[in-house]
Amino acid sequence: MSIRVIIGEGSCGIAAGAGKVRTAIKALLQEKEPFVLGSTGCIGMCFLEPIVDIYEDKTLVRRLVKVTADDAAAIVEAARTGDLSKVDSITISDDDAEFLSRQTRIALRHCGLIDPTSLDDYRAADGYRALEKVLKTMTPEQVIEEIKTSGLAGRGGAGFPTWFKWNAARQSEATPKYLICNADEGDPGAFMDRAVIESDPHNLIEGMLIGAYAIGASEMIVYVRAEYPLAIVHLTEAIEQAKKANLLGENILGTGFSCDMRIKAGAGAFVCGEETALIESLEGKRGMPRLKPPFPAQKGYFDQPSNINNVETFANVAWILNNGGEAFAAMGTENSKGTKVFALTGKIKKGGLVEIPMGKTLRDVIFGIGGGIRGGKEFKAVQMGGPSGGCIPADLLDTVIDYKALGATGAIMGSGGMVVMDESTCMVGMAKFFLDFTADESCGKCVPCRIGTKRMQEILTRIVNGEGKEGDIELLEELCLGIKDGALCGLGQTAPNPVLTTIRYFRHEYEAHIRDKKCPAKECPALRTYSIDPDKCKGCTMCAKKCPANAITGEKKQPHVIDANLCIRCDQCRSNCKFDAIIVE
């Protein structure tokens, strides 16, 4: 029996202190230990990082969570002696373990379970079996038909049938052809693609190779944002491993099929998530969308036939070819097949990566898997689809997760960002946050997006600053519809969604900001008023000492008073009061 101690070292684990845990454990190791110290990627339970797993052979016997360097001695002793009671205090609870047990994992099936830097680990998990099957027993047309049977739709946001894009590129007569992976994950709160590349890079390579064979591509390019350094390191290493094993490059597995892969690090422009803008960037130009048609399948990278899918789409491909398209199609709904990965963030108890079959409800994810709202507050809304998506309110929590149902709410599936908001979130402020983002990220090529988003941003800024006026809501709606109809690409066409959905479901908050000069969530600084409850104030003087405007006066051990004319609404008094005496209205 072999014992393995595996540390989760994805970006989230490292940020939480996994590196310090590894250093502390290594410092305690002797020359010969009865266990192996290893590494894995992100398993998705970001709210419990750092995570350390103890295996006996291939069986997980303990999952340790929120591990610190101080726990190193107990972990080493438990691994040496087999006495796992020594780590009881940091073992995952049954409630937290349900975070994974409630999921169905396909794209994330290896994440957090294998060493992302080990080709042997990936092959032991059936890695590259689908590629060998495809290259030795299937024609490109049969591969495309299997993807068609699966119902796999692009997971980058649009939900376009994958087989259709592959078939269009296949039928293009020009050569060479290119297969491109869009890993330019720019949505605030989204990190699905990063986790797959960091934790299971060979799965991406295998999925892309199958796609390249299907369309007849001789070169594959992964366009990944430069802000993902660990993903780039792991993918670079995986590419070299695959080449040495004859799984990439010339005459792959002796089948006569040749295809190479390279990485392009993007400069962080959100608009490059749009496929034609991405192609422009790949060609060394400024990332700006092209008019369509022609579509990339006819004229893409350097005017050659090109196919673009995102990371999650490719991460499903090997599983589909191993298990059959019908097995994938058996999950989900009539219009949306298979599973979908979501990055669950915001005011949620259990944040992380969630993969569920299409057809589950928002309530299933937010309250069933995510555990509900932090701090006992009320759920208010969830932003689906990032800056291109929309806010879905509490009374639509039972909305089914599929492309059609989410679209009916005014939101979109998007790439899978799911930002949860509670009662303390100002919906006008949330709309402004996303408009600030899209206005800054607009490439400026078309007037509706370049000017329209800026005008909307200005109106929203006035409203949250207490300077809104009658007619602003109607003007916002008019601008939204104009931008949606006139913008050149998906960024501009969907940029108004956060504004339209917040007006649709939270119009009363806009009206309160404009007419009453009040923020119902008490989140907009310009619309807050501060006072001190004389019954709670102990006269400790802490608020007066912290006030940068000298707006607070009072004798020691006597109730203090805030001068509203001097108050600059910095919130220092409330955040420093130990007696909850500050009243914010």
CATH label of the domain that carries residue 433: 1.20.1440.230
The whole-angstrom distance between residue 457's C-alpha and the CA centroid of its chain comes to 24
The first and second tokens of residue 541, run together, are 């003087």
The first and second tokens of residue 320, run together, are 């589909």
For residue 85, the domain's CATH number is 3.40.30.10
Closest CA to 460 of 400, 399, 510, 517: 510
Of 394, 422, 450, the residue that ends a domain is: 422
The first and second tokens of residue 86, run together, are 């020594």
The predicted pLDDT at position 31 comes to: 85
Within-domain flag for 334: no
Q: Does residue 476 share a domain with residue 404? A: no
The predicted pLDDT at position 340 comes to: 96
Q: Which amino acid is at 89?
A: S
Within-domain flag for 375: yes
Q: Per the structure, how many domains does the chain have? A: 5
Of 284, 306, 329, the residue that ends a domain is: 329
Q: Which residues contact 398 (CB under 8 A, 6 or more apart)?
A: 361, 362, 363
Q: Does residue 259 share a domain with residue 148? A: yes
| CA dist list (Å): 567 to 463, 526, 554 | 20, 11, 15
Domain that holds residue 496: 427-516
The answer to whether 561 touches 551, Cβ cutoff 8 Å, is: no
The answer to whether 337 touches 153, Cβ cutoff 8 Å, is: yes
The predicted pLDDT at position 273 comes to: 87
Q: Does residue 212 share a domain with residue 344? A: no
Q: In which residue are the tokens 């299409």 written?
A: 358
pTM: 0.93
Please give the full DSSP string across 478-534, using - where no structure is assigned. HHHHHHHHH-SSHHHHHTTHHHHHHHHHHHHHHHIIIII---TTS--GGG--EEE-T
Q: In which residue are the tokens 């250093």 written?
A: 23
Closest CA to 369 of 51, 101, 49, 47: 101
For residue 140, the domain's CATH number is 3.40.50.11540
Q: Which residues contact 242 (CB under 8 A, 6 or more apart)?
A: 119, 202, 205, 248, 261
The predicted pLDDT at position 86 comes to: 94
Of 311, 329, 347, the residue that ends a domain is: 329
The predicted pLDDT at position 417 comes to: 87
Within-domain flag for 174: yes
Q: Does residue 499 share a domain with residue 439? A: yes
The predicted pLDDT at position 42 comes to: 96
Q: Which residues contact 258 (CB under 8 A, 6 or more apart)?
A: 218, 249, 250, 251, 252
Q: Does residue 373 share a domain with residue 244? A: no
Quote the Cα angle for 470-475-477, to 5°: 120
Q: Does residue 249 share a domain with residue 171? A: yes
Question: What is the longest distance spanned by two Cα atoms in the chain?
Answer: 87
The answer to whether 92 touches 60, Cβ cutoff 8 Å, is: no
Q: Detail the DSSP E strand segments found in 311-430.
A: 339-346, 352-357, 379-384, 390-393, 417-422
Q: How many residues does the structure list for the chain? A: 585
The answer to whether 157 touches 278, Cβ cutoff 8 Å, is: no
Answer positive or negative: Cα dihedral of 39, 44, 45, 47: positive
Rounded Cα distance between 445 and 289, Å, is: 8
Q: Does residue 431 share a domain with residue 283? A: no
Q: Does residue 418 share a domain with residue 434? A: no
- Do β-strands 417-422 and 379-384 pair in parallel, antiparallel, or remain unpaired? antiparallel
Q: Which residues of the chain have pLDDT under 70?
A: none
Within-domain flag for 410: yes
Within-domain flag for 105: no
